[in-house]
A and B are shown apart, each in its own frame.
Chain A
Amino acid sequence: MKFSLGKWLLPVYVIVAFTFLMIPIVYTFIFSFNDSLKSNITWRGFTLDKWLNVCEVQNGAVCRAFGNSIIIGTVATVAATVMGTMIAIAIVRYRFKFRSATSLLLFLPMATPEVVLGAGLAAQFLSAGVPKDMLTIILAHTMFCISFVVVTVKARVASLDPALEEAGRDLYGSPNQVFARITFPLLLPGILAAALLCFALSFDDFIITNFNSGSVTTLPKYIYISASRGIPAEANVIASAVFIIALVIVVTAQVSKAARAKRLATVG
């Protein structure tokens, strides 16, 4: 074991490390309560104003950006999850030619720097004469999500015992029934995880969006643009709200999973 010097060295380090990781989050959260004017750099006083009137600042620019991010995230997630799940099933369950090429094609978007992805798409839209707006952003986000969906769902498909589907067929299930009642329900946790990942990636994406958005503003883009002028505290509000919701969802999922595992462990 690495730190045999003291049993406590590692746990202490972990606590310090997590504290360090959390600092920006806490800072952002605190400053969402700042009674700021234009820029949110110096603390002027505590107020709940920004939380209560999130959408008023700058004619609701922040909320509009937030809304755009949600729409884009949802559409891209649905598209990427559907296509990615289909690919994952094909890769695990079926034989086909060009397997290596397919793996490579799916891997490369994850390995390509966002600048390159963004610039490339922008260059293509430019030469194709496609104006940059919501559509181009959605197309871009769907693209980089697919690979992540494939990776996530593939793990789940691979862990699915084929005997279960065979049992379904043996028990008079037609192929559609077997898929609907056995395969899909068992894949669902993986698909949901992939969808969540995709949404998170899309929601927080800046670089690719910046290259392909034209005049449409997403939340990250809004923040970037305001960075030099001064970011309104409302951005902190929304970011903090998203953080809290996401945290609650994930923690609840983990806790309920643990509770359910505990319950199922009691053998009849």
Chain B
Amino acid sequence: MDTLELLRGGFASALSWGHLGWAFAGVLLGTVVGVLPGIGPALTVAMLLPITFSLDPVSAFIMFGGIYYGAMYGGSTTSILLNTPGETASIATAMDGYAMARQGRGAAALTTAALGSFVAGTLATVALTFFSPPLASMALRFGPAEYFALSILAFTAVTALLGGSLARGLFSLFLGLALGLIGIDQLTGEARFSFGIPQLLDGIDVLVLVIGLFAVGETFYQAWHHGRDPVEAVALQTFTGMSRDEWRRSWRPWLRGTAIGFPLGVLPVGGSVIPTFLSYAVEKRLSPHPEEFGRGAIEGVAGPEAANNAAAAGVLVPLLTLGLPSSATAAVLLAAFQQYGLQPGPLLFSSRPDLVWTLIASLYIGNVMLLVLNLPLAPVWARVMLVPRPLLFGGILVLASLGTYSLNTSMLDLVLLYAVGAISCVMRVHDVPLVPAVLGLVLGPLAELQCRRALAISEGDPSVFVTRPWCAVLLALAAAALVVPPLVKRRLS
């Protein structure tokens, strides 16, 4: 049977009013729980799984699809409206999304995020349907050397995010890199910079940094900056959708975001940081008005949101074709599949085609549901900007505490959260960009680990970085990203 036939079989078993109801419930629950800072997709899916246990496999799988995409999408709403990304995937969205919301264009930002997620999710699911096996075997050619090169390429995205001052941008970056040093050295098991505190052995959770820098930092800064002065209310745009111009500026970033996000999701490269920031950097480079970025450029929302959802679909490629859970969320999904006697692995497609194709069909359905749910809600959510500030910031702090504490049930994390919040407030006062710190914390350990793994495998021979073709190409791209733009600028001026 060919793929289309199988897919139709999947849809046949997935499409009934009852199943659509479960898909809707899954998307709703995933979005609602995923909205909360700190409760990322992995925890959302893990928490919601017991709900699916009492269902039959088809209903349960349809609900998984909904929960998975819903949880991936949920983070962008708070990111855009409150500048409080709850997970790494939506930081890039916050930069321009929040600026748009402050200008009363929150609904447009949410709409482009929802549409971008839908476009990217659907295209990526199509790619998943038809090209999984060749993509998965290509991903296997990536070894530690290539992952090192990829993280170096991602570092070049930082240059797009440094803000006005090189010194302050680098300070932020190195702060993140230094925080990333804390914890057990994965290769030797040796504790580094943990100062004898056992909770620091696993390093600083990136979510603690993200929530502290953004949600808590924003609250502190608002208290410092505006205090009790009456702040003029945000004038919501009466026109709630996307303007013609915003459509025109959104569709290319959606497609580019998909093209960047999907392959990087297939590669087990650790979450959505690299795809979302690469997409942001690419959009800023290609934009005819890069000065708008950071001040509400819609491309800066459309691209990363698409990249995020495309990556989420990409993660399913190695999971379904090779049985490789390449992210924490995928590992939780794997456990869920096993509840239904499904062993993801190379034989999955041949042993249980009925369930696999139902799952794939339910991914399409979940994507449509996501759009159905979130498009009409965008103008409603945008009204969050009208909630009185005392209640808004009180609520943000409570949810930030809840999410952070429940990450590891750790008081130290909570103390760190507020310490980071205080640091973030000082950084904002002195106009130091926050995002390079997050990139440093995420990418620094990745680059170091993969570099040392590659060198261990080659027994210390550094030529692996140039003799392996993919690695050499990626490193050349990274060098070009650093060197070419200043050269072009000089030539023009």
A-B interaction: no
Residues of B within 8 A of A (CB): none
Residues of A within 8 A of B (CB): none
